[in-house]
Amino acid sequence: MYLLGTSDDCLSSSRKACQPLGGWSVWATTGDSSWSWSDARHSFERKTAKGAVALMVPLTTASFGHLPTPGADSPASGITSALAITEAIKRQARNVEVSVFFLVGEYTGSIGSSRFIQDASSTLACEVFGVESCLKLAYKSNLNFTSVNFSNFDAIVALDQLSYSDSPLYFHVDQRIDQASNIALKSAKKLLCNMQIQKSKTNFLYSSPATTYIDFLEANNLLSGVNKTIVTFSRYDEFYNNPHVFTPSDTPSTNRQLNVESIIEASNVVLRMILSSDAEVKVDNDLLQKLWYCFSVNFSCDFLNVSLNLSSSTPSYATNKFEESYSDVTVMVGTALSKIGMRPAYTAAISPQLKIGEKWGPPWERSERVDYFNSSRYTLFVSSLFNKGNGARTVMLTTASVGTFTLFTGTFLCGLLLFAAFHL
């Protein structure tokens, strides 16, 4: 999907290129995030230390209309949990390097994670023309992502929808990982089971940044022999338990089941797993409570004291189009990272189907090579179930063929029911 001003403007425009859906992802690390260019190797230098930990969180959310999307359960609960866990690791385990990634557009085609992982793990097209070419257009001086080495992460943990108190905590493991030979994952699963955390029934989680990473490994024939803990934590199993997720009612003022205690519990579990600790290690409850208020209730909170271009202080996490300036949510997360002693970096998230020609100028072209990871996954399919209130229960990314089949099947059944109602 591409945006000129609105999606309608883009689709009706005669222009060949539109502003892509996306924005700016924000991330930070306790290691060295500054980018460096090696003239000898004619490439960027990767700096992530071996044994590092990566936390990955959606920064924006899906929306079922043009109304504000307060996004308390998704993504605010994951954002606040990741910040609290990062601060706790930084304070309690200084020998562990942790990187935390807040990625835009995860529920609309995994835009942020697919762009970041691809760019950070591959030779950039602009490197052929030298570092000056990489400083132009979307990257400009935001090249810190080139310092990341995903091969050196021992654990990649995704966090999403952690605040819904009526559901237990689950961990998701992708079926494509060879769990028999993955010693790190075995150890993590044993620890989680000892803490009575349930393993989900899912074999494949469509909207997780961890899944995008596995997609990348699979596409590049790197899955065999992987010895990493790659999991996603959530308070849903096969279906979303929060009936108000992705709606204007995804806010603690409307939905009392969304609370900070559930996030604290989940964060402590994740912290113990990352540190492989049988002893009790905990996040800073006071910090997490303050962050939860800021990200779920009031963007203008005193704790972060951020100057934003807001018409309302009510949080809204809708995915934006890619622009030069940072969105309010990106600014909020960057400020929160600074608050816990981290140095935020920003990376442009643009659609993987876009490429830039050798002249590095507009218009951006649509790539003829659409086999990006297994790109058929990046098709949005939404199923809404109504139960007393107006709420979505299932949103997933699936193949175009499955989406098409579901559409035609649903249309046929609706027609059949209408025919029966009027003729029987």
Separation in Å, CA 80 to CA 1, 55, 202: 29, 12, 25
Residue with tokens 């905590």: 169
Instruction: Using the CB atoms, write b or e for 114-152: b if 16+ within 10 Å.
Output: bbbbbbbbeebebbeeebebbeeebbeebbbbbbbbbeb
The H-assigned helical ranges of 75-220 are 77-92, 111-121, 131-134, 183-194, 209-219
Question: Which bin fits 150, alpha (ψ -120 to 50), beta or left (φ > 0)?
Answer: alpha
Q: Which two tokens mark 385?
A: 């179930």
Mean pLDDT of 272-284: 91
Q: Is a pLDDT exceeding 80 seen at residue 198?
A: yes
For 315-346, the pLDDT digits (tens) are 888 877 777 788 889 999 999 999 999 999 99
Q: How confident is the model at residue 65 (pLDDT cuts 50, 70, 90)?
A: low
Contact 398, 381 (CB under 8 A): yes
More confident call, 362 vs 255: 255
Residues 6+ away with beta carbon under 8 Å from 200: 170, 171, 172, 173, 234, 236, 237, 238
Q: Is a pLDDT exceeding 80 seen at residue 213?
A: yes
pLDDT of the residue at 134: 78
**pTM for this model (two decimals):** 0.83
Residue with tokens 């809204």: 316
Q: Which two tokens mark 19?
A: 């502003």
More confident call, 263 vs 424: 263
Q: How confident is the model at residue 138 (pLDDT cuts 50, 70, 90)?
A: low
Q: Is a pLDDT exceeding 80 seen at residue 3?
A: no
Q: From CA 245, how far away is CA 64, in angstroms rounded?
A: 10
Lowest mean pLDDT among 47-56, 218-227, 325-334, 412-421: 412-421
The 10 Å Cβ neighbour count of residue 259 is 17
More confident call, 310 vs 22: 22
Q: How confident is the model at residue 100 (pLDDT cuts 50, 70, 90)?
A: very high
Mean pLDDT of 51-69: 86
Q: Is a pLDDT exceeding 50 seen at residue 376?
A: no
Kindly list the structural domains of the chain, giving each domain's residue range(s) and its CATH number in brackets, ordered by start: 2-377 (3.40.630)
Mean pLDDT of 384-410: 44
For 23-45, the pLDDT digits (tens) are 899 999 999 999 999 888 888 99
Residue with tokens 């998230």: 349
Q: pLDDT over 90 for what percent of the chain?
A: 50
More confident call, 362 vs 336: 336
Mean pLDDT of 405-419: 68
Highest mean pLDDT among 128-137, 242-251, 313-322, 411-420: 242-251
For CA atoms 141, 142, 146, 152, the dihedral sign is positive
Q: From CA 371, how far away is CA 140, in angstroms rounded?
A: 26
Mean pLDDT of 348-377: 51
Contact 172, 56 (CB under 8 A): no
Q: Is a pLDDT exceeding 50 seen at residue 221?
A: yes
Residues 6+ away with beta carbon under 8 Å from 138: 322, 348, 350, 356
Residues 6+ away with beta carbon under 8 Å from 345: 26, 27, 28, 33, 142, 144, 145
Nearest CA-CA partner of 227 in 4, 51, 8, 14: 51
Separation in Å, CA 178 to CA 67, 128, 173, 182, 423: 43, 36, 10, 6, 55
- Interhelix angle 285-296/328-339, rounded to 10 degrees, is 170
Q: From CA 327, how far away is CA 25, in angstroms rounded?
A: 10
Q: Which two tokens mark 282?
A: 């905990």
Q: Is a pLDDT exceeding 90 seen at residue 392?
A: no
Mean pLDDT of 117-131: 82
Our separate counts of H helices and E strands in the chain read 10, 16
Contact 252, 297 (CB under 8 A): yes
Mean pLDDT of 145-149: 95
The H-assigned helical ranges of 280-399 are 285-296, 328-339
Q: E-strand spans in 118-186?
A: 153-159, 170-172
Residue with tokens 């403007």: 9
Mean pLDDT of 233-258: 92
- Partners of 19 in the beta sheet? 3
Contact 244, 296 (CB under 8 A): no
Q: Is a pLDDT exceeding 50 seen at residue 372?
A: no
Mean pLDDT of 168-187: 93
For 158-169, the pLDDT digits (tens) are 999 999 999 999
Look over the chain and give the mean of its residue pLDDT values, rounded to a whole number.
Answer: 81
Q: Is a pLDDT exceeding 70 seen at residue 5?
A: no
Q: How confident is the model at residue 369 (pLDDT cuts 50, 70, 90)?
A: very low
